[in-house]
Amino acid sequence: MPTYDPNNIFAKILRGELPCHKVYEDDKAFAFLDIMPRAPGHTLVLPKAPARNILDIAPDDLAHVIKVAQKIAQAGIRAFGADGVTVQQFNEGAGGQVVFHLHVHVIPRKEGLPLKPPASFKEEPDMLKEHAAKLAAALSG
């Protein structure tokens, strides 16, 4: 398997070298909005540890990411009045992974509303800002 590349785009976001719409941060995890959301509130949850995907992450770091994904899922229900949540996580190109720093997609869902196709729609920054604020408020409320 290839090794972790510290110059991947999410590593740059974690180091503050590239912008993002932050939703949550603690000592081991970071969450921000996907810029091409498949539904409003589509969030990516990352470990701060430099893991490529589920194949190389330390089990404790993975467990923490999943705990944070659960919090984001619950906040997504509250913030967006969602009826459900889709959680996705891809590993290596063959597994659908495009960015090689482990991330879990947490996508609030409304009954009867299909997901937009992947990478089909780039959301406006103002809307992302509003959605990140709504999620952050739901997380702290």
Residue in the block written with tokens 């785009």: 9
Tell me whether residue 103 is one of the annotated catalytic residues. yes
Choice among 21, 42, 64, 103 that is catalytic: 103
87 contacts ligand AMP (rule: CB under 6 A): no
For residue 28, the minimal CB distance to ligand AMP (Å) is 20
Both tokens of 101, joined, read 């720093």
Which of 58, 55, 52, 59 lies closest to 103 in space, CA to CA? Answer: 52
98 contacts ligand AMP (rule: CB under 6 A): yes
Q: Is 100 within 8 Å of 33 (Cβ atoms)? A: no
For residue 91, the minimal CB distance to ligand AMP (Å) is 9
Q: Which residues contact 17 (CB under 8 A, 6 or more apart)?
A: none
Residue from 29, 31, 34, 76 touching ligand AMP (CB under 6 A): that is 34
Q: Is 56 within 8 Å of 39 (Cβ atoms)? A: no
CA atoms of 26 and 49, how far apart (whole Å): 12
For residue 108, the minimal CB distance to ligand AMP (Å) is 15
For residue 57, the minimal CB distance to ligand AMP (Å) is 14
Question: Site map for ligand AMP, 101-120, x if CB under 6 A?
Answer: --x---------------x-
Residue from 97, 115, 116, 123 touching ligand AMP (CB under 6 A): that is 97
Q: Is 68 within 8 Å of 60 (Cβ atoms)? A: no
- Residue closer to ligand AMP by CB (options 77, 99) is 99
